[in-house]
Amino acid sequence: AQSVTQLDSQVPVFEEAPVELRCNYSSSVSVYLFWYVQYPNQGLQLLLKYLSGSTLVKGINGFEAEFNKSQTSFHLRKPSVHISDTAEYFCAVSRSGGNFNKFYFGSGTKLNVKP
């Protein structure tokens, strides 16, 4: 079975500072990894995904994530955050489930960017 752990429920950071949001997963099979962002009162929006190939994945809004198979991690990073990055971020794992693609989500990390 798959599970996704986001250790930090909240991350406060000052504007223009770097940030890392941690995600670890457990899986006995190959998985595909995603980060979603949820702005206040909105649905989830795909930020980036790792399918295969280069372990460093670049997404929208200047975010990137690095897949580390040995550590089963997929941490999200941004070198300089903006106030507008304040949102909740969800890490997710996907596996093939026959007729559908099933996602397992972490519990989310709230990023609070302060001026």
Partner 1 sequence: EADIYQTPRYLVIGTGKKITLECSQTMGHDKMYWYQQDPGMELHLIHYSYGVNSTEKGDLSSESTVSRIRTEHFPLTLESARPSHTSQYLCASSGDTTPWYGYTFGSGTRLTVV
In this chain, which stretch among 11-19, 45-53, 67-75, 76-84 interacts with partner 1, using CB under 8 A? 45-53
User: What is the 3 state secondary structure string of 40-76?
Assistant: CCCCEEEEEEECCCCCEEECHHHCEEEEECCCCEEEE
Query: Which x/- pattern over 77-106 shows residues binding partner 1 (rule: CB under 8 A)?
Result: -------------x---xxxxxxxxxxxxx
Using CB under 8 A, which of 7, 17, 51, 83 touches partner 1?
Answer: 51
Q: Which of residues 22-41 bind partner 1 (CB under 8 A)?
A: 31-32, 34, 36, 41
Interaction of residue 2 with partner 1, rule CB under 8 A: no
Q: Which positions lie near partner 1, rule CB under 8 A?
A: 4, 9, 31-32, 34, 36, 41-46, 49, 51, 90, 94-108
